[in-house]
Amino acid sequence: MKHYALGEQQGLRSLCAGERPAPIAGPGEALLRVRLVCLNHRDLLAVSGAYGAPRPAHRIPLSDGVGEVLSVGLGVQGLAAGDRVVCSHFVDWLSGDWSPAYLAQDLGISRDGWLAERIVVPAAALVRLPASLSDEQAVVLPAAGVTAWRALVSLARIKAGDLVLTLGTGGVSLLVLQIARLHGARVAITSSSDDKLARMRELGADITVNYRRQPDWAAALLAANGGAGADIIVETGGAATLAQSVAAAAPNARIALVGALGGAARQDPALWQTLLLKNLQLFGVTSGSRAMLAELVRAVAARPWPALIHRSFDFDQAAAAYACLKAAAHIGKIAIRINPGSPDPQ
């Protein structure tokens, strides 16, 4: 089967195409024909050797995909050939609380991921897709989608009328916007691009702030919201933006830490005092479980759900897809279609 591997992890040029025998489903496993995959920011880090320890050069990347069941191994029930499925990228995290032990079985990082014609995964980690969801609608759910779901629903306990602030217009922020709207919440979003903010308003954002023109974006948010802060903040900037997120928070707000894209910053000495005075809750989010993914699939299948794909590339254009993500001019996810209708490779 055709596949891509991380190679030497020195940047985009390290991504290498190859062929290897198609995998076979063992006991408790399912063999999938890969239909559509999409990229996340961590995929850029992985191919550059900047996502934890270096990975084996033969590691197949990508954590998000939609597949079709071809066969199942001994003991697997509830799945049949032809079922369309998505998979929790921490394949051992089926339900319950997070454990760092789940990092040992992370699709595209610590075990082979989706950027291949075929993939074998534990059948218990799969979630069947209803016919009402297209591949394009579903492919964004297993990583960015379930991260946003856990932040908003499982941990922050979102409710109608809440104001949710999310930073930037990356994949997680787009999913935060859509999931918050599903729950009747309002959404504020930041970006350095007026064009991107205009698109966010088209997708339903209530408040938008250009942080390049308004560096004190916390004050801008408060002014746009009648002096009140955000009830939930999905913090993707990390140390560089946390102080402003705390300033933008309403009393008793919940702040979900899901990334550190803003780089390092000197600590604000008033930060911890403000956390205490506002009684804020601060928690880390490392994606979500298979049970949360199933909840998310049910929720988005029940209502209109946009296909958040900016552009789709063919399988032999995988390097161009990575380059498109790195350029950061997109609004939405970058997808790769895996040879639809190709025969079963031997």
* Any domain includes 94: yes
Residue 285 has pLDDT above 70, yes or no: yes
The structure tokens listed for 215 are: 């560096």
Question: Is a pLDDT exceeding 90 seen at residue 272?
Answer: no
Confidence at residue 260, expressed as pLDDT on a 0 to 100 scale: 61
- The answer on 97 and 175 residing in a single domain is no
Residue scoring higher pLDDT (270 or 24): 24
List the alpha helices (DSSP H) in the chain. Answer: 41-47, 135-138, 146-149, 171-182, 194-202, 217-224, 242-248, 271-278, 290-301, 318-327
H or E stretch covering 4: strand 2-5
Evaluate whether residue 298 is within a structural domain. Answer: no
CATH of the domain at 45: 3.90.180.10
**Does residue 189 surpass a pLDDT of 90?**
yes
Domains contained in the chain, number = 2
CB 150 within 8 A of CB 176: no
Residues 136, 45, single domain; the answer is yes
Domain that residue 31 falls in: 2-140+308-337
Model pLDDT for residues 289-340, shown as the tens digit of each residue: 999 999 999 999 998 899 999 999 999 999 999 999 999 888 889 999 997 5
For residue 263, the model assigns a pLDDT of 54
Let me know whether 114 and 242 are in one domain. no
CATH of the domain at 243: 3.40.50.720
Tell me: do 20 and 128 sit in the same domain: yes
- On whether both 160 and 240 belong to a single domain, the answer is yes
pLDDT at 17: 97
Domain contains 236: yes
98-157 confidence digits (pLDDT tens): 999 999 999 999 999 999 999 999 999 999 999 999 999 999 999 999 999 999 999 999
pLDDT of residue 265: 55
Do 136 and 170 share a domain, yes or no? no
* Length of the chain as a residue count: 346
Q: What is the pLDDT of residues 230-242, one digit of tens each?
A: 999 999 887 788 9
- What angle separates helix 171-182 from helix 290-301, to the nearest 10 degrees? 60
Instruction: Tell me whether residue 149 is in a domain.
Output: no
Tell me which DSSP letter residue 116 carries: B
Listed residue (222, 282, 213) closest to 250, CA to CA: 222
What SS3 class is residue 43? helix
Q: Is the separation of the CB atoms in 188 and 224 below 8 Å? A: yes
Specify if 182 maps to a domain: yes
* Same domain as 134, residue 33: yes
**pLDDT value at residue 261:** 58
Quick one: 77 exposed, middle or buried, by C-beta within 10 A (0-12, 13-18, 19+)?
A: exposed
What mean pLDDT comes out for the span 202-210?
A: 96
**Claim to verify: residue 13 and residue 127 sit in the same structural domain:** yes
**Mean pLDDT within 163-172:** 94
Q: Is the pLDDT of residue 48 over 50?
A: yes
Same domain, 279 and 161: yes
pLDDT at 346 over 50: no
pLDDT reported for residue 264: 53
Task: Note whether 134 and 174 are same-domain residues.
Answer: no
Beta-carbon contacts of residue 302 (< 8 Å; ≥ 6 apart): none
What pLDDT is recorded for position 275?
85
Angle at 42 between CA 37 and CA 48, to 5 degrees: 110
Residues 84 and 208 in one domain: no
Q: Is residue 121 part of a domain?
A: yes
Q: Give the chain's mean pLDDT.
A: 93
* Residue 9 within any structural domain of the chain: yes
Q: Are residues 226 and 313 in the same domain?
A: no
Q: Is the dihedral of CA 266, 269, 273, 274 positive or negative?
A: negative
pLDDT at 63 over 80: yes
Among 76-90, 183-197, 250-264, which is the least confidently predicted range? 250-264
